[in-house]
Chains A and B, each alone.
Chain A
Amino acid sequence: MDENLLIGIYGSIGMLVMVLIGVRVFAAAALTGLLGCVAILGWDAGAGIVGTIPHSKAVNYALSVLPMFVLIGFIAYHAGLTHALFDAAKAWFGWVPGGLAVATVFATAGFAAVSGASTATAAVFTRVAIPHMLENGYDRRLAAGVVAAGGTLASLIPPSAILVVYALIVEQSVGALLLAGFIPGVVSAIIYAMLIVGQCVLRPELGRPIKSPPLVQRFKTLPPITPVIAVVGIIFYSMYSGKATPTEAGALGAFVVFVIALFRGMTVGNIMDALLETAKLTVMIFSLVWGVLIFVRFLGFAGLPQAFAEWIVALPLPPLAIMVLILLAYTILGMFMDAIGMLLLTLPVVYPAVIALGYHPIWFGIIVVKMCEVCLITPPVGLNCYVVHAVRPDIPLGDVFRGIGPFFGADVATLALFIAFPEIILWLPRFEGMGAS
Chain B
Amino acid sequence: MAITETSRLTSGDILLSRIDEYLFKIESLFNLIAGVVIFLTMCLGVIQVVGRSFFNQPVPAYVDIIELMMATFAFLGISYCQKLGGHVRMEIVLKQFKGRAFWIAEVIGTLVMMWIIAILMIYGYEHFLRAFELGDSTIDGDYPLWPSKLVVPVAFGLLMCRLTVNLWGFVRLVIRPNAEPIGIPVLETVDDQAEHEIRTSGLGDEAITERSLRQRQGAE
Contact = CB atoms under 8 A, between A and B. Distances in A.
B partners with A? yes
Interface string A241-275: 00110011011101100100000000000101111
Contacts of B36: 275
Interface in B180-220: 190-191, 193-195, 197-198, 200-204, 206-211
B162 interface: no
A273 B201 CA distance: 9
A347 interface: no
Q: How large is the interface on A (under 10, 10 to 19, 20 to 34, 35 or more residues)?
A: 35 or more
A3 B43 CA distance: 51
Given A19-B89, A22-B93, A77-B206, A390 B38 contact: no
Given A119-B194, A393-B210, A280 B67 contact: no
B127 A68 contact: no
Given A58-B71, A59-B71, A61-B67, A30 B89 contact: no
Most chain A CB within a 10 A radius of its CB, from B67, B105, B190, B207 = B207
Contact of A127 (B122, B197, B206): B206
B161 to A, nearest CB: 16
A26 interface: yes
B66 to A, nearest CB: 5
Contacts of A220: none
B205 to A, nearest CB: 9
Contacts of B66: 61, 64, 247
A76 B206 CA distance: 13
B128 to A, nearest CB: 8
A337 B194 CA distance: 14
Contacts of A284: 81, 86-88
A251 B78 contact: no
A68 B38 CA distance: 7
A25 B123 CA distance: 21
A277 B202 contact: yes
Contacts of B200: 273, 277
Given A19-B90, A22-B105, A23-B89, A251 B34 contact: no
B49 A287 contact: no
Most chain B CB within a 10 A radius of its CB, from A25, A82, A126, A279 = A279
B177 to A, nearest CB: 17
Most chain B CB within a 10 A radius of its CB, from A78, A127, A252, A391 = A391
A276 interface: yes
Most chain A CB within a 10 A radius of its CB, from B43, B94, B127, B202 = B202
B203 A120 contact: yes
A331 to B, nearest CB: 14
Interface string B72-86: 011111101110101
A123 B204 contact: no
Q: How large is the interface on B (under 10, 10 to 19, 20 to 34, 35 or more residues)?
A: 35 or more
A50 interface: yes
Contact of A30 (B91, B120, B195): B120
Given A27-B116, A282-B77, A283-B77, A255 B46 contact: yes
A74 B32 contact: no
A306 to B, nearest CB: 26
Interface stretch (A203-211, A321-329, A379-387, A414-422): A379-387
B38 A77 contact: no
A402 interface: no
Name B's interface SS.
helix
Contacts of A124: 201, 203, 206-207
A264 to B, nearest CB: 12
Contacts of B195: 390
A375 interface: no
Contact of A68 (B41, B90, B115, B123): B41
Nearest to B92: A336
Nearest to A282: B73
Most chain B CB within a 10 A radius of its CB, from A31, A115, A128, A288 = A31
B148 interface: yes
B190 A20 contact: no
Contact of B190 (A59, A74, A127, A383): A383
Contacts of B28: 276
B134 to A, nearest CB: 14
Interface string B84-116: 101111111110000000000110110011011
Contacts of B75: 54, 58, 283, 286
A198 interface: no
Contact of B207 (A63, A75, A127): A127
A34 interface: yes
Nearest to B115: A31
Contacts of B46: 251-252, 255
Contacts of A337: 88, 90
A275 B123 contact: no
A338 interface: yes
Interface in A210-256: 243-244, 247-248, 250-252, 254-255
A279 B41 CA distance: 12
B93 A20 contact: yes
Contacts of A338: 88
18 contacts: A21-B105, A27-B112, A47-B119, A51-B120, A51-B123, A60-B67, A61-B67, A64-B66, A78-B202, A247-B41, A247-B45, A251-B42, A273-B202, A276-B35, A280-B84, A284-B86, A287-B81, A391-B198
Given A47-B123, A55-B124, A275-B35, 19 more contacts: A21-B109, A27-B112, A27-B113, A31-B116, A51-B123, A51-B126, A63-B74, A68-B41, A120-B203, A123-B203, A251-B45, A258-B42, A273-B202, A282-B74, A283-B73, A283-B77, A336-B90, A386-B194, A390-B194
Interface of A: 18-28, 30-31, 34, 47-48, 50-52, 54-55, 58-61, 63-64, 67-68, 71, 74-78, 82, 115, 117, 119-120, 123-124, 126-128, 243-244, 247-248, 250-252, 254-255, 258, 270, 272-284, 286-288, 290, 336-338, 340-341, 381, 383, 386-387, 389-393
Please name the 4 residue pairs, one residue from A and one from B, whose CB atoms are nearest each other, closest first.
A51-B123, A251-B45, A275-B35, A120-B201
